[in-house]
Amino acid sequence: MTTFENDITYYMVKSLVVVVSTLLMMSSCMKIKYTFKKILAAFVGYILWTGVFTFASMKLWGIVVTLRLSIPVISVPAMVILYFISNYSPWQAVFNYTMQLSVSVILAMSQTIAVSVLGGGKLMDLIIRIASYSLCIFAELKFLRKKFALLDYIPDKNWRALTFVPIGFTVLFFLIGTYPVHYTESVSNTIYIYAVTAVMLLTYVIIFLSLVSQYNLQLSEYTNSILTSQSESFQKQLEAINSTEEQVRIMRHNLRYNLIVLSDMLTAGDTSGALEYLGSFGQKLDESQKEVYCSNSTANAILAYYIDRAESKSIKTKVQFAMPENISVDIMDFTAAVANALENAVNACAKVSGGKKKLRIKTTESKQYIVEIANNYTGKVSFDEEGLPISKESGHGIGTRSISAFAQKNNAVLDYDVTDKWFKLRIVLPNAEK
């Protein structure tokens, strides 16, 4: 078969196509966290290293030894580089890269076999390699990238077990392809390679369908959790409102009693006693008075509830909240979204050590109605492809999805900002109809 091993210059060109294409395949389903310049510098350095190794190895040992050394010397460094520039969890990254490597290996072998069967030369070899890799990368970008991103829900320890599948296939391909001789010199080795390929593709399809099925099941449970979260928010609103109404009812009842006591004192001529009683009554009123944050009773009840919670956790609060009379969304949906945002903010802020716990709530009504909730936080904040913050803790993140569902339902815009250890959420509502 045609390997062009005697033409080291072209073999290096071919290797460069394979290496760059494999990198692009690995990157096709990857979330990148660094700037383009840093990534380009890393890739250029890696490609130079690959070129030096390929040239030296081909000169010293030939094609078979070069292929045998390619996993530890070429493939592993590529995966290390991609691992550090991606946002994947450790084992999910390894699974993705080794899966792509196993596919790239069978593509490269198939390209060599195709050129040999067609009796082509270097030009045909180059065209077939570039065309087949380009088609594969395009297909992965179009059909797999978004679906693979959905699988972030899988715990990292589960990816660890799955990773042994692509690692096993990759090692098996290299063993069959280079032992005891190069696969191009053994028909039986070529048959074994495609038999393993059929098993590999079937295994990947089964794994992927199983993971997507689990995702759909979890999404259904997740939707139910959002509804439950909203229901709990509504319940907190009702409890806060009912508590306020109960206090008003008690005050009305006590006011009638207090007026009777004052009347008796004044009738008896006890003016000083009546004045002292009024002073005591006024002090009790001041102590029982709840601060009013907003003219809307529902929103005010929610604000009072979470501000009390924040202050009980030694969080300093600053509130400047107002609501337009003609707000364009359902008040219960809106207050549920605010409640979920405040729940997340209080929980995050409570983890901050020392006296740096601060929570700010404010609204603006210039061209649009904007609610901003800002809090200090500790640790690192990551965002998914939808721009929503990712929760690393099991059972968390439901409130964030609930806020997102509110925004989608009401054509609102969510703006997350992380600056100087301040986490800010802005909910921008559409203009109210005049």
Confidence at residue 180, expressed as pLDDT on a 0 to 100 scale: 85
Decide if pLDDT at 27 tops 90.
Answer: no
Decide if pLDDT at 231 tops 70.
Answer: no
Q: For residue range 344-389, what is the model confidence (pLDDT) as tens digits?
A: 899 899 988 877 899 999 999 877 899 999 999 988 887 776 778 8
Q: What is the mean predicted confidence (pLDDT) over 83-92?
A: 77
Q: For residue range 97-109, what is the model confidence (pLDDT) as tens digits?
A: 889 889 998 999 8
Residue of 40 and 248 predicted with greater confidence: 40
Q: What is the mean predicted confidence (pLDDT) over 128-155?
A: 84
Cβ atoms of residues 298 and 323 within 8 Å: no
Query: Which DSSP category does 249 fall into?
Result: H
Exposed/middle/buried for 416, CB within 10 Å: 0-12, 13-18, 19+? middle
Confidence at residue 201, expressed as pLDDT on a 0 to 100 scale: 93
Confidence at residue 367, expressed as pLDDT on a 0 to 100 scale: 78
Confidence at residue 434, expressed as pLDDT on a 0 to 100 scale: 42
Say whether 324 sits in a helix, a strand or coil: coil
The pair of three-digit structure tokens given for residue 101, joined into one six-digit string: 């490597």
In Å, how far from its chain's centre is CA 245?
A: 41
- Cβ neighbors of 296 (< 8 A, separation 6 or more) are 323, 331
Tell me the range of 155-159, 166-170, 179-183, 217-221 where mean pLDDT is highest: 166-170
Quote the percentage of the chain above a pLDDT of 70: 83
Decide if pLDDT at 83 tops 90.
Answer: no
Lowest mean pLDDT among 110-114, 318-322, 360-364, 391-395: 391-395
Tell me the range of 70-84, 171-185, 192-206 where mean pLDDT is highest: 192-206
